[in-house]
Amino acid sequence: MNTAVMDRASSTMIRSSNSGANLALRGIVKSFGSQQVLRGIDLDINAGQFVAIVGRSGCGKSTLLRLIAGLDEPTRGGIAVDGETGQRNQATRLMFQEPRLLPWQRVIANVEVGLTQTMDTRSRRNQARKVLAQVGLADRENDWPGILSGGQRQRVALARALASHPRLLALDEPLGALDALTRIEMQELIERMWLDKGFTAIVVTHDVAEAVALADRILVLEAGTVAMDVTVDIPRPRRRGDAAAAAVEGRILDRLLLH
Amino acid sequence: MKRIVPWVIPILLLLLWEVMARLGLLRAQVLPAPSAVAEAAWRLARSGELWTHVEISTWRALTGFAVGGGIGFVLGMANGLSSLSETLLDSTLQMIRNIPHLALIPLVILWFGIDEEAKLFLVALGVFFPIYVNTLHGVRSVDRQLLEMGRAYSMSERQLFLRVVLPGALPSVFVGLRYGLGIMWLTLIVAETISGSSGIGYMAMNAREFMLVDVVVFSILVYAALGKLADSIACLLERTCLAWNPVYAKA
Asked, for residue A135, whether it belongs to a domain, the answer is yes
- Strands (DSSP E) found in chain A: 23-32, 35-45, 50-54, 76-81, 92-95, 168-172, 200-204, 217-222, 225-231
Residues of B in contact with A104 (CB under 8 A): 167-168, 170, 242, 244-245
pTM of the shown model: 0.84
| Cα distance between residue B49 and residue B32, in whole Å | 20
* Predicted local distance difference test score (pLDDT) of residue A88: 67
Q: Is the pLDDT of residue B91 over 50?
A: yes
10 Å CB burial of residue B197 (0-12, 13-18, 19+) is: exposed
Residue of A nearest to B146 (CA): A100
What residues in chain A have per-residue pLDDT under 50? 1-17
A104 backbone dihedrals φ, ψ, rounded to 5°: -95, 10
User: Looking at CA atoms only, how far is residue B172 from chain A in angstroms?
Assistant: 14
Residues of A in contact with B248 (CB under 8 A): none
pLDDT (mean) for B13-39:
91
Closest by Cβ to B145, choosing from A98, A105, A160: A98
Closest by Cβ to A69, choosing from B152, B156, B249: B152
* Predicted local distance difference test score (pLDDT) of residue B154: 86
Chain A, chain B: beta-carbon pairs less than 8 Å apart: 50
Asked, for residue A19, whether it belongs to a domain, the answer is no
* Predicted local distance difference test score (pLDDT) of residue A169: 95
* Predicted local distance difference test score (pLDDT) of residue A203: 96
Asked, for residue A75, whether it belongs to a domain, the answer is no
CB atoms under 10 Å from CB of A51, counted, come to 24
* Predicted local distance difference test score (pLDDT) of residue A95: 93
Helix (H, G, I), strand (E, B) or coil at B142: coil
Q: Which residues in B73-91 are b (16+ Cβ under 10 Å) and which e? A: bebbbbbbbeeeebeeeee
Answer whether A160 touches B (CB < 8 Å): yes
* Predicted local distance difference test score (pLDDT) of residue B114: 79
* Predicted local distance difference test score (pLDDT) of residue B249: 64
Asked, for residue A199, whether it belongs to a domain, the answer is no
| Cα distance between residue B163 and residue A135, in whole Å | 24
Q: Is the pLDDT of residue B1 over 70?
A: yes
Residues of A in contact with B145 (CB under 8 A): 96, 98, 100
User: Looking at CA atoms only, how far is residue A246 from chain B in angstroms?
Assistant: 36
Q: Is the pLDDT of residue B245 over 70?
A: yes
Residue of B nearest to A114 (CA): B153
* Predicted local distance difference test score (pLDDT) of residue A178: 87
B130-185 pLDDT per residue, tens: 999 999 999 999 999 999 999 999 899 999 999 999 999 999 999 999 999 999 99
ipTM comes to 0.85
B94-115 pLDDT per residue, tens: 999 999 999 999 999 899 887 8
The domain total for chain A is: 1
Q: Please, what CATH class does the domain formed by B41-241 belong to?
A: mainly alpha
Residues of B with CB under 8 A from a CB of A: 145-146, 148-156, 159, 163-164, 167-168, 170, 242-246, 249
* Total residues belonging to chain A: 259
Asked, for residue A27, whether it belongs to a domain, the answer is no
* Predicted local distance difference test score (pLDDT) of residue A239: 81
